[in-house]
Chains A and B, each alone.
Chain A
């Protein structure tokens, strides 16, 4: 559909005998916050990695801004306007916080404006006081925020977040939700893979539900929350696996 920033068509991934993702058609509209949910083992992480480019699909295609990126390597997708925060905290642990941001910024921002941009991002992720410390010394939640800051530094069209609130306290989770909403209000399109239903209810506009690697349901957050089938797959009334 036109106006879709990101679209997958029949996306499938097989690992040996196991099909992790099967024939998924996903559509992310420009300017929305879209959440990808599903029980454990549903294939959310695999789908995320297919979109990012870490895995190559066994079948199907991925379109970003109506251009086929199925064969593109991750760095090429990033150059086209995706920005990615993967699940495991991965900042440059030995390097200072400020340098982490600089590496994300340096290709998009002229040298003279670098320091000012770094300061702006430091303030946004509330790490101004820790700018000189090695990133590995930050708390878990702070590292997640630093990563979000680095993802934002790329000035992306589409922000992809894989479980950004993993390991965060409820308070930090809520603040992360507020940050994402602020960004979205300024026009950022966001795809979030998440487990935390409170967080999803806080931020999601549209939701896609995966189950056993297949597209199970999709719609607005209100529709999904009200759907009894979705509750069932989480609570386990379906046939045993």
Chain B
């Protein structure tokens, strides 16, 4: 009995971790700048590739993963300056521009690097409960997801950058009048979003095959989590992750992966209907 329950919770935690890790970077960018970053998957892919390259160069896994996140973050800052800067508060245009960028990057990599790269294996370690065996690494991922949520909270609520960032999110014009360097805030925020995406890729790299188009695996889930969560990453991403993970894990257990994905998508359509501003919109209205 306990084994069954734990198995379900494990599945739930697994999906929750996936959703939170893949969506938080996107949520920050969307919430901050009103920009939909369709190249989000490519930052994830970047994190994964850099991580694998570093591991094969001899670095220990955690350090390599950190390197992957940092690399993605730096590239994010560059992309923001060159492309995204032109599209603030224009979600449709930013979606198209970053989609174009995504195509160029994935196909360019396919052309130059080829379609597969030797990956690294999942770190060994498992434990059994009842008749089920669970991977320790995936529990680590759950822990990382919680850590990321905590990190976002600390950064946005307890640092000076966080105060500036929240002010800019509320009203960029007034923030500028008060001396906030809005351009720098945007650049750093996009970089943070990209770094979180890179971290997602870095963390999942040991569990996946590395192909240049691997970002697509994360796109649907991360987008629907952001849409359900709403624009405020602090209020929305975690509850959205909980809700969608519960739906997905439940449906997976009942009907398998395909039912899980289709069911989650249908649930998203219904949720958007009821809560057009997402969960954070609902919570914000309640607070008033």
Contact = CB atoms under 8 A, between A and B. Distances in A.
Asked if A and B form a direct contact in the complex, defined as CB atoms under 8 angstroms apart, the reply is yes
Interface of A: 16-17
B158 interface: no
Nearest to A15: B288
Contacts of B288: 16-17
Interface of B: 285-286, 288
B271 to A, nearest CB: 21
Contacts of B285: 16
Nearest to B286: A16
4 contacts: A16-B285, A16-B286, A16-B288, A17-B288
A73 B50 CA distance: 55
4 smallest CB-CB distances across A and B, nearest first, come from A16-B288, A16-B285, A17-B288, A16-B286
A16 B285 CA distance: 7
A212 to B, nearest CB: 19
A212 B155 CA distance: 42
Nearest to A18: B288
A148 B285 CA distance: 35
A219 B219 CA distance: 62
B237 to A, nearest CB: 24
Contacts of A17: 288
Contacts of A16: 285-286, 288
A17 B285 CA distance: 10
A16 B283 CA distance: 12
A16 B281 CA distance: 13
B280 to A, nearest CB: 16
A19 to B, nearest CB: 14
A16 B288 CA distance: 7
Nearest to B288: A16
A17 B287 CA distance: 10
B16 to A, nearest CB: 31
A106 to B, nearest CB: 29
A234 B285 CA distance: 31
A181 to B, nearest CB: 42
A17 B286 CA distance: 9
B83 to A, nearest CB: 27
B213 to A, nearest CB: 38
Nearest to A17: B288
A14 to B, nearest CB: 12
A58 to B, nearest CB: 15
A131 B260 CA distance: 56
Nearest to A16: B288
A241 to B, nearest CB: 18
A66 B288 CA distance: 37
Nearest to B287: A16
A16 B286 CA distance: 7
A17 B288 CA distance: 7
B283 to A, nearest CB: 12
A16 B282 CA distance: 11
A135 to B, nearest CB: 23
Contacts of B286: 16
A189 B288 CA distance: 39
A2 B285 CA distance: 41
B219 to A, nearest CB: 33
B276 to A, nearest CB: 15
B275 to A, nearest CB: 16
B96 to A, nearest CB: 20
Nearest to B285: A16
B37 to A, nearest CB: 28
A18 to B, nearest CB: 8
A17 to B, nearest CB: 7
A16 B287 CA distance: 9
